[in-house]
Amino acid sequence: MTPAPDEHPQSSEQIELPASTASPMVVALGITLVFAGLITHAALSVVGIALALIGAVGWWREVLPEQRVERIIRRPVERRPSAVVPSKPPVERASIGGGAHRTRVPVEVQPYSAGIRGGIVGGIAMAVPALAYGLIAQRSLWYPINLLAAVAIPGMAHASLAELRAFSLLALAIGTIVHGLISVLVGLLYAVILPMLPRRHMVWGGIIAPLLWTGLVWAVLGIVDPTLAARVDWPWFVVSQIAFGLTTGFVVARAQPLATMQTWPLAARAGVEASRDR
């Protein structure tokens, strides 16, 4: 008696794998909708329960009464790709602390003194277009100074145009202090951040950073003190910031960089002199 075709032993060139099904995803979606309906609407939970039941029944029918499988035909031995032979090339051992091993960016940094010098020089360069704006647009050398002092003197922002054009010793002192402190602090930031940026430091420090800084000041000042923001001439403000960025970036970039201590031996980094006998 000839056996049925399905009674033949399975060929060694075939592999049985479980058939693909979307039922698990349907069940997961249904459970998600059930919990989402608890905080939104009961109708969503009803839909989720229906989907979960449909997916569960479909998933159950994948294995009962018989498991659904897919037969994958394997290629003949002569058509299979050759086995990958692992190779063991020699490993070159790197000495810790030598040859820039495990270096951290930046490898070199600018000295803080360069940031201070750049901030001072950049503050002077920024004052030139600011004062030029006062003379050209407002016919007063004291207008930009008084407007800067309004950062620390709230009443100056609401002063009349005549008061802003007039000389004020208090506003001159406070404006000079505020301008100097901000210039030095930003100069220190240039010394720290510029070495970590890609090349073209003059583009980053002279154009991109001033534009970002101007956008931040415009957004914050418009919320904190809209009256003061309305008195600022923003095109001139951008010009003065770019003048500061170009000058400060040039001074910082021209400074002699200092190598970081990350490649030094531990004894040198800790300031301890190693014994010669070891």
Residue 89 placed within a domain: no
Q: Which of 209, 200, 192, 205 is nearest to 110 (CA)?
A: 192
Q: How many CB atoms lie within 10 A of CB 35?
A: 12
Tens-place pLDDT, residues 225-268: 788 788 888 888 999 999 998 898 888 888 888 777 766 666 66
Asked if pLDDT for residue 184 goes beyond 90, the answer is yes
Q: How many CB atoms lie within 10 A of CB 92?
A: 5
**pLDDT recorded at residue 28:** 93
Residue 84 placed within a domain: no
- 208-235 average pLDDT score: 85
Domain count for the chain, please give it.
2
189 and 117 share one domain:
yes
Residue 1 placed within a domain: no
Amino acid in the structure at residue 227: T
Q: Which of 245, 249, 248, 219 is nearest to 234 (CA)?
A: 219
- 50-68 average pLDDT score: 87
**pLDDT recorded at residue 240:** 92
C-alpha–C-alpha distance, residues 30 and 53, integer Å: 8
- Mean pLDDT of all residues in the chain? 80
Residue 6 placed within a domain: no
160 and 215 share one domain:
yes
**pLDDT recorded at residue 8:** 44
Residue 103 placed within a domain: no
113 and 57 share one domain:
no
118 and 229 share one domain:
yes
Q: Which domain holds residue 230?
A: 108-262
Residue 234 contacts residue 215 (beta carbons within 8 Å): no
151 and 67 share one domain:
no
115 and 245 share one domain:
yes
**pLDDT recorded at residue 265:** 66
198 and 154 share one domain:
yes
62 and 122 share one domain:
no
Residue 2 placed within a domain: no
Q: Which of 1-10, 189-198, 230-239, 266-275 has the lowest mean pLDDT?
A: 1-10
Q: Which of 107, 92, 94, 93 is nearest to 263 (CA)?
A: 107
C-alpha–C-alpha distance, residues 96 and 10, integer Å: 58
Residue 74 contacts residue 14 (beta carbons within 8 Å): yes
> Against a cut of 0.85, is the pTM above it?
no
Amino acid in the structure at residue 204: W
C-alpha–C-alpha distance, residues 156 and 89, integer Å: 74
Secondary structure letter of residue 56 according to DSSP: H
Residue 7 placed within a domain: no
- Per cent of the chain over pLDDT 70 is 82
Q: Last residue of some domain: 55, 75, 95? A: 75
- 58-82 average pLDDT score: 79
Tens-place pLDDT, residues 126-162: 999 999 999 998 888 898 888 888 888 877 778 888 8
- 37-42 average pLDDT score: 87
122 and 257 share one domain:
yes
**pLDDT recorded at residue 203:** 81
161 and 35 share one domain:
no
Residue 3 placed within a domain: no
56 and 170 share one domain:
no
**pLDDT recorded at residue 276:** 47
Tens-place pLDDT, residues 79-117: 777 777 777 777 666 554 455 555 566 677 788 888 899
Asked if pLDDT for residue 10 goes beyond 50, the answer is no
